[in-house]
């Protein structure tokens, strides 16, 4: 078999860094979410670009699939090797290569995780702002075009990546972009690889934009009687140009989850969590402005604080949302769906979703990076019950179709993986075919994460 | 001849909107800069996407080149139909289609110009911030990935474009992106077309991000004894996270040009022009912060004002820089070259450039969007003198090679056109070949702006 031939060729070369152990394969055959697992035939831990290129050449020659593995935190089945082959675990390529403090950029290997990167940057006065909550690898974050809570102010991985080194399917190593902040020198290959989920090439090095650590940070919470009032507060805040660093919506169910899971005692109401970055004067001004907007929209008790402990507690809660939500139904797993709509349609998108849920037997708490019009539903299912899975799929289908109808996208940040591929034709029309044509040029044998993103293969 | 066949087929269809008049062809055969002109065989003014698709199908069938024409303000020979064929003048597709004030976005046709767009938006409280000075068309700006003075705060066309409608070479019409602020739904085709200079498709509709008009605006100027002190002021300003809206460097020659051309009376020293956007309190705070940084770096007389007239006068001067510079040598034309480097290398890049110029017979004033590490030299030549053209090319070559050596790019914003194609291999290495492979998929017959960007054709 061609996969076996490739593995046989690579095994002596990689020794203990190639594993066929069942537990290792199982671990690399599943993600954090509800998708059916499928193990790779082997896992390899490369330690250099040259090794990745060598693996690509061998796999190309034998038609053996390669699925890059960052931290395995993606939620749509991205890392599941549906055609078997080799999982390329990038966790040993985790070095910080260069910090250019004056230019506010950093050159790293893909396996470094977001938290470690920020720890290593702490002393420089700089930080990397893209924050999906999970401690994802930067290579995986680039590959999914990740964003998260800070995107409203600092942008997503689309804006954060300045340059890449990429190993193509045939083993060629290319560089896209430079350390210059902007360029008009030809096609934007950097942005083509960002979000390509390991289907066009393996990212072996990234140059990322950093930001200065804010002089002052304050955080705030505000509860609302009605969800539309919370959303209206968000719209007005963005329109006023208040440079909020984070603005998150949590529904009453999620708040109930926090209260149980993290021992909070918050009113079970639609709630905004906010953060402001800037000078002392500016964070005070921002908080006052948003406080006033919230007040006019019926917000109850806009509390803000500069106290780091209270702030950390707040974001620790926010980052535990996925698990807090699951705790609402012991033994359940979250069938997560992520959509993003123009902000003017957000209240409508959420209200219609709530109406769907009122008629469903399933419970589904909601959180959203609402400054971007992005929200996630975590439909709580018994992963062993096919009827519940089918009902979750039905609900998710309605949410995704609604997002398209309202001018939005079926995934704001989680990516396509296996779960969102069925909506690609509806979202992109003929452009989906063009994605397939581009894939065919870069990966003619279809060995890079097959079964994902593009039509057919 | 195949071009003639295509024109013969299209002529009855477009009537007076197809012209073969010599003056019209000559006008569409040259740009604002020094590149040798070459006329198209005909010019067509399409009025709809369907018409563009029809032209593409006909030209595809007969192998007739199509070169899109926006406002013809590009500076690297982009619009010059080096293989003849049809210039597609987009100026009649200039409608504003939808304004979504709540979502802060707008849907437009490509022929609308930047100034008209902002006039039409004025009453909404929103504005479109990408400002290349020239009154370019938005289609042309997207196609060159334009930026300009406000990019340091608001980003470039890369960040500004949310979605596109594009006619492909074979007449297929695709849509890329949605009105959602962010998406991870597959390959970023929007960013692939942004910056593709009419070589991958014709942009027939754009959805653009807008920003709220700032509550307050102030402007400032500051002169420095030494250029490195001005650059150090910029670095510290950016690192402090001051959200400057514009931060421009002008060299003593350019100031001399303003003094003569616009009747100013500024000291002929390296000078920064700045603008601050925000609340009243914030613009005051920003100006004070930058004033203090400039003072520590030896800045002389940091003057700032909220007075609209003084501000408009300042930016009118800045926007006339190209012409003010040319006035330094009557009858001369600017051989413009645009590079962008990491900001830490900017002082070095400029100092070495000045050393080159000291040994050259030619005069070459410099301006820069220095917050991004981007600067332009306008080498003043007698366009009829081959020796001067050769000397300008030699100087430009050194500047561009230096930008690459310092980790930068050979074009921060003007694009590749004819002038920068010779550096593509040096900047991109093997990735340049990949651009060619992508072009071949989208435009197999090579009819879209042939002779630009990619290798070979
Ligand atoms: C609790 C929780 C909360 C989350 N919240 C958010 C959120 O707010 N925002 C958000 O955007 N995401 C969120 N996610 C999803 C997840 O964190 C992101 O998708 C993240 O970007 C995945 O990174 P990873 O390193 O885990 O990648 P993996 O899951 O390992 O891989 C993801 C994809 O990238 C590919 N890949 C990985 N490394 C490379 C490489 N070096 N080269 C090429 N391809 C590669 C893989 O093949 C796969 O297709 C959340 C996940 C969890 C579990
Ligand atoms: C005085 C002066 C100052 C300038 N300053 C700056 C600056 O600060 N920053 C900056 O970025 N640029 C600057 N420029 C350059 C120029 O303004 C930009 O390149 C601008 O984006 C060109 O827009 P245009 O409409 O004139 O395009 P054109 O010159 O008409 O065309 C440019 C390219 O885009 C293609 N194109 C045009 N329309 C379409 C379409 N609808 N679909 C597909 N392709 C299309 C053309 O084929 C061509 O390749 C300056 C120019 C001048 C004259």
User: What are the tens digits of pLDDT across the range B149-175?
Assistant: 999 999 999 999 999 999 999 999 999
Cα(B78)–Cα(B197) distance, integer angstroms: 7
Cα(A90)–Cα(A44) distance, integer angstroms: 9
What would the mean pLDDT of B89-111 be, rounded to a whole number?
97
Query: How many A from CA of B31 to the centre of ligand 2?
Result: 10
Cα(A104)–Cα(B63) distance, integer angstroms: 47
Residue linked to tokens 């395995």: A72
Is residue B442 over pLDDT 80? yes
The gap from C-alpha B205 to its chain's centroid, in whole angstroms, comes to 19
3-state secondary structure of A238: helix
Ligand 1, residue A32: give the atom nearest the CA: 53
Predicted-complex ipTM score: 0.96
Is A408 close to B180, i.e. CB distance below 8 A?
Answer: yes
Query: How many A from CA of B74 to the centre of ligand 2?
Result: 4
- Predicted confidence band of residue B457 (pLDDT cuts 50, 70, 90): low
Query: Which of B56, B117, B134 to probe ligand 2 with, by most ligand atoms within 8 A of CB?
Result: B134
- Predicted confidence band of residue B270 (pLDDT cuts 50, 70, 90): very high
- Predicted confidence band of residue B239 (pLDDT cuts 50, 70, 90): confident
pLDDT tens for each residue of A65-120: 999 999 999 999 999 999 999 999 999 999 999 999 999 999 999 999 999 999 99
Residues from chain B contacting residue A187 (CB–CB below 8 Å): 192, 195-196, 200, 435, 438-439, 453
Cα(A354)–Cα(A338) distance, integer angstroms: 15
Question: Is any Cβ of chain B less than 8 angstroms from the Cβ of A189?
Answer: yes
Q: How is residue A413 annotated by DSSP? A: S
pLDDT tens for each residue of A178-198: 999 999 999 999 999 999 999
**Whose alpha carbon is nearest atom 16 of ligand 2?**
B74
Structure tokens at A70: 């960052």
CB B244 within 8 A of CB B321: no
Residues in chain B: 457
| Any atom of ligand 2 within 6 Å of the Cβ of B148 | yes
- Rounded to the nearest integer, the mean pLDDT of chain B is 96
Is B105 close to A342, i.e. CB distance below 8 A?
Answer: yes
Q: In this complex, which of B188, B214, B412 lies closest to A241 when CB atoms are compared?
A: B214
DSSP A41-75: SEEE---SHHHHHHHHHHHHHHT--EEEESSS--S
Q: In this complex, which of B104, B182, B424 lies closest to A186 when CB atoms are compared?
A: B424
Is A176 close to B285, i.e. CB distance below 8 A?
Answer: no
CA distance B275 to chain A (A): 17
| Any atom of ligand 1 within 6 Å of the Cβ of A74 | yes
Query: How many A from CA of B68 to the centre of ligand 2?
Result: 11
- Please report the number of interchain residue pairs, chain A to chain B, with beta-carbon separation below 8 angstroms: 276
Cα Rg for chain B, rounded, in angstroms?
22
The ranges of chain A with pLDDT < 70 are 1, 457
Cα(B177)–Cα(B182) distance, integer angstroms: 9
| Any atom of ligand 1 within 6 Å of the Cβ of A53 | no
Q: How crowded is residue A296: how many other Cβ atoms within 10 Å of its Cβ?
A: 12
Encode B27-61: b = buried (16+ Cβ within 10 Å), e = exposed: bbbbbbbbbeebbbbbbbbbbebebbbbbbebbbb
3-state SS, chain B, equals CHHHHHHHHHHHHHHHHEECCHHHHHHCCCCCCCCCCCCCCEEECCCCHHHHHHHHHHHHHHCCCEEEECCCCCCCCCCCCCCCCEEEEHHHCCCEEEEECCCCEEEECCCCEHHHHHHHHHHHCEECCCCCCCCCEHHHHHHHCCCCCCHHHHCCHHHHEEEEEEECCCCCEEEECCCCCCCCCCCCHHHHHCCCCCCCCEEEEEEEECEECCCEEEEEEEEECCHHHHHHHHHHHHHCCCCCCEEEEECHHHHHHHHHHCCCCCCCCCEEEEEEEECHHHHHHHHHHHHHHHHHCCEEEEEEECCHHHHHHHHHHHHCHHHHHHCCCCCCEEEEEEEECCHHHHHHHHHHHHHHHHCCCCCCCEEEEHHHCEEEEEEEECCCCHHHHHHHHHHHHHHHHHHHHCCCECCCCCCCCCCCHHHHHHHHCHHHHHHHHHHHHHCCCCCECCCCCCCCC
* Contact map slice: A 386-445 vs B, CB within 8 A: 403-404, 407-416, 420, 423-424, 427-432, 434-435, 437-442
Structure tokens at A379: 């439909």
What pLDDT does residue A87 have? 98
Cα(B398)–Cα(B58) distance, integer angstroms: 43
Cα(A11)–Cα(B310) distance, integer angstroms: 72
Is A180 close to B342, i.e. CB distance below 8 A?
Answer: yes
- Closest of B30, B40, B39, B73 to residue B383, by C-alpha: B30
Q: How crowded is residue B374: how many other Cβ atoms within 10 Å of its Cβ?
A: 31
Encode B320-332: b = buried (16+ Cβ within 10 Å), e = exposed: bbbebbbbbbeeb
Is A453 close to B187, i.e. CB distance below 8 A?
Answer: yes
**Whose alpha carbon is nearest atom 28 of ligand 2?**
B72
Is A438 close to B434, i.e. CB distance below 8 A?
Answer: no
Is A435 close to B189, i.e. CB distance below 8 A?
Answer: yes
What pLDDT does residue A301 have? 84
Among residues of chain B, what percentage have pLDDT more than 70? 100
Ligand with the closest atom to the CA of B199: 2
Residues from chain A contacting residue B233 (CB–CB below 8 Å): none
pLDDT tens for each residue of B282-336: 899 899 999 999 999 999 888 888 899 999 999 999 999 999 999 999 999 999 9
Cα(A176)–Cα(A162) distance, integer angstroms: 9
Interface test with B, best of A184, A212, A428 (most B CBs within 10 A): A184
**What values do phi and psi take at A90, rounded to 5?**
-85, 10
- Closest of B217, B107, B194 to residue B142, by C-alpha: B194
- Closest of A106, A41, A27, A33 to residue A69, by C-alpha: A27
pTM exceeding the 0.80 threshold for the entire prediction: yes
Residue B168 exposure: Cα atoms within 13 Å on the Cβ side: 19
Query: How many A from CA of A180 to the centre of ligand 2?
Result: 21
CB B233 within 8 A of CB B293: yes
Is B180 close to A342, i.e. CB distance below 8 A?
Answer: yes
| Any atom of ligand 2 within 6 Å of the Cβ of B378 | no
Q: In this complex, which of A103, A183, A432 lies closest to B343 when CB atoms are compared?
A: A103
Residue linked to tokens 């929209």: A297
CB B70 within 8 A of CB B140: yes
The gap from C-alpha B106 to its chain's centroid, in whole angstroms, comes to 20
Ligand with the closest atom to the CA of A31: 1
Query: How many A from CA of A141 to the centre of ligand 1?
Result: 5
Is A180 close to B373, i.e. CB distance below 8 A?
Answer: yes
- Angle between helix axes A227-239 and A280-296 (nearest 10 degrees) is 140
| Any atom of ligand 1 within 6 Å of the Cβ of A252 | no
What pLDDT does residue B1 have? 58
3-state secondary structure of A409: strand
Is A102 close to B239, i.e. CB distance below 8 A?
Answer: yes
What pLDDT does residue A323 have? 92
CA distance A234 to chain B (A): 11
- Predicted confidence band of residue B31 (pLDDT cuts 50, 70, 90): confident
Residue A363 exposure: Cα atoms within 13 Å on the Cβ side: 17
């Amino acid at each position: 078999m061609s996969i076996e031939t490739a593995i046989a060729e690579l095994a002596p070369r990689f020794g203990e860094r190639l594993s066929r152990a069942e537990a290792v394969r199982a671990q690399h055959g599943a993600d954090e979410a509800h998708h059916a697992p499928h193990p790779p035939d082997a896992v390899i831990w490369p330690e250099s670009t040259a090794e990745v290129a060598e693996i690509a050449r061998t796999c190309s020659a034998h038609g053996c699939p390669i699925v890059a593995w960052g931290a395995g935190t993606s939620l749509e089945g991205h890392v599941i090797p549906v055609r078997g082959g080799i999982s390329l675990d990038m966790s040993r390529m985790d070095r910080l290569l260069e910090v250019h403090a004056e230019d506010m950029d950093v050159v790293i290997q893909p396996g470094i995780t977001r938290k470690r990167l920020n720890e290593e940057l702490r002393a420089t006065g700089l930080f990397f702002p893209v924050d999906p909550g999970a401690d994802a690898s930067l290579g995986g974050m680039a590959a999914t075009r990740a964003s998260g809570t800070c995107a409203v102010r600092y942008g997503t991985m689309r804006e954060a990546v300045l340059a890449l080194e990429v190993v193509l399917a045939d083993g060629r190593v290319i560089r896209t972009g430079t350390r210059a902040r902007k360029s008009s020198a030809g096609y934007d290959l950097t942005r083509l690889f960002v979000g390509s989920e390991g289907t066009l090439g393996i990212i072996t090095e990234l140059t990322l934009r950093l930001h200065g650590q804010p002089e002052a940070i304050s955080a705030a919470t505000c509860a609302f009687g009605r969800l539309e009032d919370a959303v209206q507060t968000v719209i007005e805040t963005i329109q006023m140009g208040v440079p909020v660093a984070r603005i998150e919506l949590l529904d009453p169910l999620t708040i109930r989850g926090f209260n149980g899971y993290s021992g909070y005692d918050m009113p079970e109401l639609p709630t905004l969590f906010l953060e402001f970055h800037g000078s002392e004067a500016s964070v005070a001004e921002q908080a006052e402005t948003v406080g006033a907007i919230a007040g006019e929209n019926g917000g109850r008790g806009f509390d803000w604080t500069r106290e780091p402990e209270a702030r950390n507690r707040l974001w620790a809660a926010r980052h535990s949302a996925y698990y807090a939500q699951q705790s609402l139904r012991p033994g359940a797993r979250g069938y997560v769906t992520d959509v993003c709509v123009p902000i003017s349609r957000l209240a409508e998108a959420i209200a219609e979703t709530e109406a769907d849920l009122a008629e469903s037997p399933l419970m589904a708490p909601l959180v959203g990076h609402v400054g971007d019009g992005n929200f996630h539903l975590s439909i709580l299912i018994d992963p062993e019950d096919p009827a519940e899975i089918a009902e979750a799929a039905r609900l998710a289908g309605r949410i995704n179709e609604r997002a398209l109808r309202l001018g939005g996208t079926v995934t704001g940040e989680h990516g396509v993986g296996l779960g969102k591929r069925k909506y690609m034709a509806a979202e992109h029309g003929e452009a989906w075919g063009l994605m397939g044509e581009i894939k065919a040029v870069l990966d003619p044998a279809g060995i890079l994460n097959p079964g994902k993103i593009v039509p057919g293969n």
